[in-house]
Amino acid sequence: MPKNLVVVSAAIVSLFATPFALADTAAARAKALEAVKRDFNPRGQASLDRLAEDMVQLICNRTANNPSPENTKRLEAKQLALVKYPADGKLMGDWKKGETLAQSGRGFTWTDGAGGAVGGSCYNCHQIGPNEQAFGTVGPSLLGYGKLRGNSPEIQRYTYAKIYNAKAFSACSDMPRFGHVGALKPEQIVDLVALLLDPASPVNK
């Protein structure tokens, strides 16, 4: 369903919601969660704690991804405050390593060994290179990202923080919070920043 339709239907539902209907919604939600927990089987490192929501996910899930403007601001500020930067303060790493990471979708599944390498799988949602055989379109194309924006310290900081925790800038973003959840380390995120911002990177050719 288009996003604005979801928003409109959520508004209509809340307009006519009686306490009775709310109780029904809560009961339906509890039933759905029960079914999900019953039907999802933990395997290897993919354990059921992955179904747990943190506060920002909970609020997004309960508002059809449309929290109030004040809540959105508050949630984003909290997420931004959780971003950890590399100890040496350098935000541009090696674009070649970044490219390998961006094009790897391995890691974190039950068939991957725990503690094994985790890729960024950026290609699953973004165009992020000139020679990709396939890429997803859930996120905007990142081709020419650095060419368009330059690589000033502000852009480096934004790009690093966006990859570390996308919800710091868009509370209900569908983009995974790579640094926040520990999928990628700061040393790896700086390589992705270089992939996007280094003038020598294929992204900017």
- In Å, what is the CA distance from 181 to each residue of 84, 118, 165, 186, 202? 12, 12, 9, 12, 28
Opening angle at CA 167, ends 137 and 63, nearest 5: 90
The residue range among 1-9, 19-27, 51-59, 120-128 that interacts with ligand HEC, by the rule CB under 6 A, is 120-128
Chosen residue from 143, 163, 171, 194 binding ligand HEC by CB under 6 A: 163
Q: Quick one: how far is CA 98 from the chain centroid? A: 17
Q: Select from 29-37, 49-57, 87-95, 169-177 the region that touches ligand HEC (CB under 6 A).
A: 169-177
Residue 121 interacts with ligand HEC (CB under 6 A)? yes
Of 100, 136, 135, 132, the closest CA to residue 118 belongs to 100
- Judged by CB under 6 A, the residue of 103, 173, 201, 204 near ligand HEC is 173
Nearest CB to ligand HEC, comparing residues 74 and 169: 169
Residues 76-105 that bind ligand HEC (CB under 6 A): 102
Which residue, 108 or 110, is less far from ligand HEC as judged by CB?
108
C-alpha–C-alpha distance, residues 118 and 191, integer Å: 14
Choice from 60, 67, 72, 126 touching ligand HEC (CB under 6 A): 126
Using CB under 6 A as the binding rule, whether residue 118 contacts ligand HEC is answered as no
CA distances from 101 to 13, 178, 187 (A): 43, 12, 12
Residue 46, strand partner residues: 43
Q: Which residues bind ligand HEC (CB under 6 A)?
A: 102, 120-122, 124-126, 138-140, 142, 159, 162-163, 166, 170, 173-176, 178, 192
